[in-house]
């Protein structure tokens, strides 16, 4: 210690201790500053220089960043989908490829099919009985959910209990809502817990309530704009979670909104340029004042077969507008940017130039992996499985036994690019034991038990008529040789 420190220690020990602590903090701050300077020297992305002037760095969490921005992004994306063909194509492609004809289901009890409960679920979910609006079956609701998530960033679905007298297979329906129904102004920490964009969380971070407007805030016949709490167990909130702790979603158009809008303006300018280039623009120069009467008689337009007398001293010049150069190349680069930002293959937008089997398949492999991620990490756990839980709860209230019941979900089949090549490859994998038949069938978008039941019905019809087809593996080998009957169940009877 220095002389001052020793004097303070003798006279005022408490002040001396505070001074020593402050000196330690100053030294630590200097050390951290030097360390940060070393980091900035090593990482270009952490520097503050001319090249990084436009970077908007923030330490906010995902919910703070989305506050106010989510609604603006959703509104902008909807406008683009209404008026921009590339935006409409992107939404339709992702939703259709995710859902297709539907992510089908099968009710299982203790891992085995339950025919009675499965039939009940089909009567409810495969008809419009499950839709509160009475227009869609479950598969249509899945498609609507996927489309809304891509466009608006999220979608809500609400459980609507019904009375037994309503005549539904099970007494509940699903009401689809846009994320605008969330009261996004409810944020902060209050006695009831934490509020994030209208979502009420308990002390452990679990969702307790959703504060929803009874009507869309932009409804044409708006009557009530007071949000009410709806229990979280009666609300489905589907969105793609990109960061830990994120409670809401952003429109998938966020990375391409500006480029897509600028490209549309560029297309409009080029279209106007072409219209001008396809027109004859005439400039009449040097008309004399003393020929005013003749000047008024001149035509102000050009038409086929026109013969016009021009007064002496009048000069006629035709416009020579420039052509359109580089339009095709710029369009390809822009569309590829849209495809990259939306995680789509480039050919989705309709340009198949230069696409062959190999390049198309390579691009589709990555795209199918992306679809699998969206299906099994977003749509199934956030929409399908909670809807199944609502079904089991309503079925139990209606007196059905649902003990040990679950639902198995099967995504739609993805078309093969080359059936002659990919079909035998799947067959060989099954025969080699590298893939079980159930997985192969589910990858084709079918339910294995349904396929086997259909085969059983067909086989019974064929056996009843004593017919043999080369597609029947019980009768004919893969190379077409007939098999001898063995007397096994289902085998054709031996002839005398």
Give the end of a domain, one of 253, 288, 323. Answer: 253
Q: Which helix (H) or strand (E) holds 177?
A: strand 172-177
pLDDT digits (tens, 9 = 90+) for 367-395: 889 999 999 999 999 999 999 999 999 99
Section 71-76 average pLDDT: 94
pLDDT digits (tens, 9 = 90+) for 119-128: 999 999 999 9
CA distances 297 to 260, 280, 282, 303, 407, Å, are: 49, 20, 16, 16, 83
130 and 238 share a domain?
A: yes
Residue 495 pLDDT exceeds 50: no
What are the tokens at 100?
């297709």
Distance CA 144, CA 135 (A): 12
> How many domains does the chain divide into?
3
pLDDT of residue 478: 67
What are the tokens at 374?
């969206």
Is residue 180 situated within a structural domain? yes
185 and 80 share a domain?
A: yes
84 and 198 share a domain?
A: yes
Of the listed ranges 195-199, 264-268, 285-289, 463-467, the one predicted with least confidence: 285-289
pLDDT of residue 191: 73
Give the end of a domain, one of 200, 219, 253. Answer: 253
pLDDT of residue 151: 96
329 and 228 share a domain?
A: no
Distance CA 316, CA 77 (A): 49
Section 192-219 average pLDDT: 91
67 and 12 share a domain?
A: no
30 and 92 share a domain?
A: no
Distance CA 210, CA 207 (A): 8
Is residue 259 situated within a structural domain? no
More confident residue, 491 or 404: 404
Residue 133 pLDDT exceeds 90: yes
pLDDT mean across residues, the chain:
84
pLDDT digits (tens, 9 = 90+) for 454-476: 888 888 888 888 887 777 777 77
176 and 207 share a domain?
A: yes
Residue 129 pLDDT exceeds 90: yes
143 and 221 share a domain?
A: yes
201 and 304 share a domain?
A: no
Non-local (6+) Cβ contacts of 171 within 8 A are: 161, 162, 163, 164, 394, 397, 398
pLDDT of residue 60: 87
More confident residue, 100 or 282: 100
pLDDT of residue 496: 43
Of the listed ranges 173-177, 252-256, 283-287, the one predicted with least confidence: 283-287
Question: Which residue range forms the structural domain that includes residue 288?
Answer: 270-349
Distance CA 106, CA 51 (A): 56
Is residue 122 situated within a structural domain? yes
3-class DSSP assignment, residue 491: coil
Give the end of a domain, one of 253, 286, 307. Answer: 253
245 and 274 share a domain?
A: no
Of the listed ranges 33-37, 54-58, 68-72, 246-250, the one predicted with least confidence: 33-37
pLDDT of residue 33: 66
Residue 8 pLDDT exceeds 60: yes
pTM of the model: 0.77
Let me know: does 182 contact 174? Beta carbons within 8 Å.
Answer: no
20 and 101 share a domain?
A: no
pLDDT digits (tens, 9 = 90+) for 277-323: 776 666 556 555 555 555 555 556 666 655 566 666 667 666 666 66
Is residue 209 situated within a structural domain? yes
Residue 439 pLDDT exceeds 70: yes
180 and 303 share a domain?
A: no
Of 444, 13, 14, 83, nearest in space to 263 by CA = 83
Section 160-176 average pLDDT: 95
Largest CA distance in the chain: 123
Section 16-30 average pLDDT: 77
pLDDT digits (tens, 9 = 90+) for 183-193: 998 998 887 78
Of the listed ranges 224-233, 353-362, 484-493, the one predicted with least confidence: 484-493
Is residue 211 situated within a structural domain? yes
Residue 95 pLDDT exceeds 90: yes
Is residue 394 situated within a structural domain? no
Non-local (6+) Cβ contacts of 451 within 8 A are: 441
Is residue 220 situated within a structural domain? yes
Is residue 235 situated within a structural domain? yes
């Amino acid at each position: 210690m220095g002389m001052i420190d020793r004097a303070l220690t003798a006279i005022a020990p408490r002040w001396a201790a505070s001074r020593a602590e402050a000196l330690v903090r100053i030294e630590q701050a200097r050390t951290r500053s030097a360390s940060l300077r070393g980091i900035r020297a090593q990482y270009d992305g952490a520097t503050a220089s001319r090249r990084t002037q436009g970077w908007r760095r923030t330490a906010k969490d995902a919910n703070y960043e989305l506050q106010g921005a989510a609604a603006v992004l959703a509104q902008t994306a909807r406008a683009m989908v209404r008026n921009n063909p590339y935006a409409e194509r992107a939404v339709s492609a992702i939703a259709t490829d995710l859902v297709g004809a539907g992510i089908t289901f099968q009710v299982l009890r203790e891992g085995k099919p339950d025919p009675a409960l499965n039939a009940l679920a089909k009567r409810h979910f495969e008809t419009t009985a499950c839709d509160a609006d009475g227009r869609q079956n479950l598969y249509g609701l899945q498609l609507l959910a996927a489309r809304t998530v891509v466009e608006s960033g999220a979608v809500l679905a609400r459980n609507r209990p019904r009375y037994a007298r309503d005549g539904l297979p099970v007494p509940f329906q699903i009401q689809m809502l846009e994320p605008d129904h969330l009261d996004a102004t409810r944020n902060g920490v209050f006695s009831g817990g934490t509020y994030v964009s209208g979502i009420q969380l308990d002390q452990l971070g679990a969702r307790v309530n959703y504060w929803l407007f009874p009507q869309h805030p932009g409804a044409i016949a708006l009557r009530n704009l007071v949000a009410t709490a709806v229990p979280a167990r009666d609300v489905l909130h589907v969105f793609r979670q990109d960061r830990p702790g994120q409670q809401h979603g952003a429109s998938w158009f966020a990375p391409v909104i500006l480029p897509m809008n600028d490209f549309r303006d560029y297309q409009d300018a080029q279209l106007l340029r072409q219209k001008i280039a396809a027109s004859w623009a005439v400039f009449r120069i040097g008309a004399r004042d003393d020929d005013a009467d003749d000047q008024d008689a001149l035509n102000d337009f050009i038409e086929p077969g026109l013969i016009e007398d021009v007064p002496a001293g009048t000069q006629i010049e035709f416009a020579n507008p420039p052509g359109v150069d580089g339009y095709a190349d710029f369009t390809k680069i822009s569309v590829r940017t849209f495809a990259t930002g939306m995680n789509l293959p480039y050919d989705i937008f309709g340009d198949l130039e230069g696409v062959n089997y190999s390049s198309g398949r390579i691009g589709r492999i990555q795209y199918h992996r992306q679809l699998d991620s969206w299906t099994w990490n977003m749509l199934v756990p956030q929409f399908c499985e909670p809807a199944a839980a609502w079904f089991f709860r309503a079925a139990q209230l209606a007196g059905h036994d649902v003990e040990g019941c679950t639902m198995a979900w099967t995504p739609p089949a993805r078309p093969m690019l080359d059936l002659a090549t990919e079909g035998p490859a799947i067959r060989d994998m099954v025969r080699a034991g590298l893939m079980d038949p159930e997985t192969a069938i589910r990858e084709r978008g079918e339910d294995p038990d349904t396929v086997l039941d259909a085969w059983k019905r067909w086989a019974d019809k064929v056996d009843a008529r004593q017919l043999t087809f080369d597609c029947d593996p019980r009768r004919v080998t893969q190379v077409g040789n007939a098999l001898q009957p063995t007397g096994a169940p289902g085998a054709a009877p031996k002839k005398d």
